[in-house]
Amino acid sequence: MAIGALICSRLGKVAGVIALAFVFLILRAGADDQIKKNDGTIIPGEITGVSGDQVDVTIHNSNGSTGKTLLYLSDIESVTMPPPADVAKAQGAAPKEVIAILEPKIKQFAGLPTDWVVNAMAQLADAYAATGQPDRALALYTQITQSYPGSAYMNVAQAGKAKLSLQQGKIDDALAAVQPIVEAANKNLAPSQSEGGLYASAFLVYGQVLAAQKKPREALEAYLTVKTMFYQNPAMVAQAEQLAQALRDQNPGLGIE
């Protein structure tokens, strides 16, 4: 009986260790970034940066050790990764602060197929434009085009270029750039969260183009579309509300049918 009890005790301890290791693996996987490859494989790890056409990933092993691996961007379908804490500080910051915060993050992570990277690139481009650096803004939008060919992120670059055209007084060019995105968005009755955020950037520019064309009612409708249909990005909803209010202030009694 004593021997049997000892064996049971040891087996219980072993089972406990295995259970703890299993729990550790679950917690570790939940804490890691999730990289989905084109073949459907999910690789958990900590993404530390992008080097050329490769992603640097630190792998955390169950025994507490770490390893490093490189994955080609061309092999990655999508990435689930929370933005670094510093990125949140750029929201609502002055353009020079935005540049100081986001430049190093974009240099580190540009090319990753995840929403926060592309949104940060667009925000950085806006900051460049606001500080009299339109060439750097255009270069960043071109980088988005080159880094994410054929993806929905192309809409961000197209909307950004339209915004630059608008700022330069090229209203027709801005409209030509953003119109196809608006038409595609109007056909998408159930946009995903990612698509909604991308369409919102186009509708904000579209509204500004319409306002510049002296079409306040249509411009207001564009801004309200961001609030009611493409509300997935809170920062863009806030911008739409500001633009809508400014439009109402300039046109008392303005509304839409």
Q: Please state the pTM of the whole predicted model.
A: 0.79
pLDDT of 25 over the 50 cut? no
Work out the average pLDDT over 137-142: 96
pLDDT of residue 193: 81
Match 């079409």 to its residue by tokens.
Answer: 215
**Positions of CATH 2.30.30.100 in the chain:** 2-80
pLDDT of residue 257: 65
Neighbours of 207 (CB within 10 A): 28
Average per-residue pLDDT for the chain: 87
pLDDT of residue 11: 43
95: left (phi over 0), alpha (psi -120 to 50) or beta: alpha
**pLDDT grade for 145, boundaries at 50, 70 and 90:** very high
Give tens-digit pLDDT for 214-225. 999 999 999 999
pLDDT of residue 240: 95
HEC letters along 32-75: CEEEEECCCCEEEEEEEEEECCEEEEEEECCCCCEEEEEEEHHH
pLDDT of residue 73: 95
pLDDT of 236 over the 80 cut? yes
**pLDDT grade for 23, boundaries at 50, 70 and 90:** very low
Work out the average pLDDT over 220-231: 94
Q: What are the residue ranges of helices labelled H in the chain?
A: 2-31, 85-89, 95-109, 115-130, 134-147, 154-167, 171-187, 193-212, 216-228, 234-250
Question: What topology does CATH give the domain 85-250?
Answer: 1.25.40
pLDDT of 154 over the 80 cut? yes
Q: How far apart are CA 70 and CA 58, in angstroms?
A: 9
Classify residue 166 as exposed, middle or buried by CB count within 10 Å of its CB (0-12, 13-18, 19+): buried
Strand 54-60: give its sheet, edge to edge.
Answer: 66-72, 54-60, 42-51, 33-37, 76-80
Give tens-digit pLDDT for 102-132. 999 999 999 999 999 999 999 999 999 999 9
Q: How far apart are CA 223 and CA 228, in angstroms?
A: 9
Does the domain made of 2-80 have the CATH classification 3.30.1300.10?
no
pLDDT of 97 over the 70 cut? yes
pLDDT of 256 over the 80 cut? no
Classify residue 156 as exposed, middle or buried by CB count within 10 Å of its CB (0-12, 13-18, 19+): buried
